[in-house]
Chains A and B, each alone.
Chain A
């Protein structure tokens, strides 16, 4: 079969909503795009453990500590599923991690912001997990089978995370004056970076058209961002807090909220490595990996010894 015919067959499958599986023929660009996106997603889960991990030791009650520990652990689990999904595209987890540590692979910029108060645990759950969910719900129907299936498992847990985050803020919003201020401050700091999570504007997004055609993505950045603004603008009322955007207003004719312009200069700066925590996040990941090298070596040395012994016994 010619490449042209293969490509046609491939696109037919996608148009008929048949999932692409690891052993199916796929265009090289499709494989690469998926690999980049899934591994980037996996890295985001892992780096995402750091800002919240920062408050495990200081969680203000035993119940909150347990919920936070379980949440951060869930994110580690998400990383595992996603690394496995990415590995089906012929790239090992070790290689992916190497690319993360060398700066070649990216992760979500949101995790380059610092978690400064306990209220940030609420704001991250509500806004960051909330934004992630919209993207991930869409990805449950993405065309690459292993990615879609990983997303289905992940989405169930993410909605818990968002509710738990909101609940943290709800308690703060009904608490003392200091707690209310802490709550509003966290919303102020996390709001704009959360909006940036959906990526550049559609008019400036480079890979979007092809990704839509291949049904890797099914909604554009701007569509998802609008959906997020509409959702959060309502939920924030329950908290009795405000979003830090004077231009945020319901538009009756569009049936959507209008909102202000994102600071794209900040967006690109954080992407380029100039966010408040880019350096620290990567350093923390590298340090964990480097300090763990002797542990991984010992584990494989022991496994090899054991296998050799079994062989001797068998012979």
Chain B
């Protein structure tokens, strides 16, 4: 691999991490002011803030890499140019993160799937040779541990709560499970970083444990898995999200805010 392509791979990888966190944050921040109970409105906004913070760290690092490279189409880059001025085909977030917020069951399950994955990923990422990525991962792990705890408790509460909450969790599993496979399938730019396929067994084990306590069934392993987000092939949801997120930067090019 040439120096150029490996640098591009590192940029893409960092953008992938940034995009997933940002889109997760953007989606979950839709709950702010509309949560099912005030304490949880505050809790999920906290998580949105954590994810947004992670995204910013990754974008800032990616911007630095881009600005150091000899010529790059995204130059000059800032955290905001990367978040606000790339089109949907350039976004590399997991499809799971862009799915509609749905009801509280879908939001909870999405956070559970994602945060368990993130905790496994960041645990490994903090030991990669790239010091900056390792540092961001290490710094984020404490937050992610809380996200795992918070979402697991809710999965259990809803799974083992009322007949209605149980049913809503079953629906959520059916909706979201087909988007979990993508987390463990490597894109080209992941070569040499953490191999995501090695996280799969640990993830399944943790999901299984929590589902068992929640009296929820595991989905079959043969369910068809959607992929594409990592390489810019998204669901129709993302375009609308970006239209909202990027509106002001697009409407007033070059303005400072």
A residues near B, CB below 8 A?
Answer: 46, 49-50, 53, 56-66, 69-70, 72-73, 76-77, 79-80, 83, 118, 168, 171-172, 175-176, 178-179, 284, 287-288, 291-299, 301-302, 305
Query: Chain B 238-257 against A: per-residue CB contact (8 Å), 1 yes, 0 no?
Result: 00000011011100100111
Q: Contacting A295 at CB < 8 Å: which of B32, B37, B48?
A: B37
26 pairs of residues in contact across A and B, judged by CB atoms under 8 Å: A53-B32, A57-B26, A57-B245, A58-B245, A60-B249, A61-B249, A62-B55, A62-B59, A65-B29, A66-B52, A69-B32, A69-B52, A72-B32, A72-B33, A76-B41, A79-B38, A80-B39, A172-B257, A175-B255, A284-B34, A288-B36, A291-B103, A292-B104, A295-B40, A296-B37, A299-B161
Contact A73 B36 (CB under 8 A): no
Q: Contacting B256 at CB < 8 Å: which of A50, A69, A171, A295?
A: A171
Contact B36 A76 (CB under 8 A): no
Query: Chain B 20-63 against A: per-residue CB contact (8 Å), 1 yes, 0 no?
Result: 00100010011011111111111001101100110110010000
Any chain A CB within 8 A of the CB of B168? yes
In the assembled complex, how far is the CB of residue B32 from the closest CB belonging to chain A, in whole angstroms?
5
Once A175-B256, A292-B37 are accepted as A-B contacts, the answer to whether A66 and B158 lie under 8 Å apart by CB is no
Any chain A CB within 8 A of the CB of B65? no
Complex CA–CA separation, A168 to B248 (angstroms): 14
Complex CA–CA separation, A53 to B37 (angstroms): 16
Once A294-B164, A302-B160 are accepted as A-B contacts, the answer to whether A73 and B80 lie under 8 Å apart by CB is no
CB nearest neighbor in A for B248: A60
CB nearest neighbor in A for B156: A302
Once A79-B38, A292-B37, A302-B160 are accepted as A-B contacts, the answer to whether A69 and B257 lie under 8 Å apart by CB is no
Which bucket holds chain B's interface residue count? 35 or more
Complex CA–CA separation, A53 to B45 (angstroms): 11
Q: Contacting A53 at CB < 8 Å: which of B33, B49, B59, B245?
A: B33
Contacts of A172 in B (CB 8 A): 257
Contacts of A299 in B (CB 8 A): 37, 157, 161
DSSP class of A's interface residues: helix, strand, loop or mixed? helix
Complex CA–CA separation, A239 to B37 (angstroms): 39
Complex CA–CA separation, A63 to B55 (angstroms): 11
Once A57-B244, A58-B245 are accepted as A-B contacts, the answer to whether A73 and B32 lie under 8 Å apart by CB is yes
Once A57-B245, A76-B42 are accepted as A-B contacts, the answer to whether A62 and B252 lie under 8 Å apart by CB is no
Contacts of A62 in B (CB 8 A): 22, 52, 55-56, 59, 79-80, 83
B residues near A, CB below 8 A?
Answer: 22, 26, 29-30, 32-42, 45-46, 48-49, 52-53, 55-56, 59, 79-80, 83-84, 103-104, 156-158, 160-162, 164-165, 168, 244-245, 247-249, 252, 255-257
Complex CA–CA separation, A72 to B244 (angstroms): 19
Contact A57 B30 (CB under 8 A): yes
Contacts of A293 in B (CB 8 A): 36
Q: Contacting B157 at CB < 8 Å: which of A63, A72, A291, A298?
A: A298
In the assembled complex, how far is the CB of residue A107 from the closest CB belonging to chain B, in whole angstroms?
13
Complex CA–CA separation, A276 to B59 (angstroms): 40
Complex CA–CA separation, A179 to B157 (angstroms): 48
CB nearest neighbor in B for A51: B33
CB nearest neighbor in A for B214: A302
Contact A294 B162 (CB under 8 A): yes
Complex CA–CA separation, A76 to B34 (angstroms): 11
In the assembled complex, how far is the CB of residue A167 from the closest CB belonging to chain B, in whole angstroms?
11
Complex CA–CA separation, A70 to B29 (angstroms): 11
Contact A298 B165 (CB under 8 A): yes
Contact B257 A64 (CB under 8 A): yes
Contacts of B38 in A (CB 8 A): 46, 76, 79-80, 83
In the assembled complex, how far is the CB of residue B77 from the closest CB belonging to chain A, in whole angstroms?
13
Complex CA–CA separation, A172 to B255 (angstroms): 9
Complex CA–CA separation, A59 to B30 (angstroms): 13
Give the most central of B32, B37, B55: most A CB within 10 Å.
B32
Once A171-B257, A179-B252, A297-B162 are accepted as A-B contacts, the answer to whether A73 and B45 lie under 8 Å apart by CB is yes
Complex CA–CA separation, A296 to B162 (angstroms): 10
Contacts of A64 in B (CB 8 A): 257
Contact B53 A66 (CB under 8 A): yes
Contacts of B55 in A (CB 8 A): 62
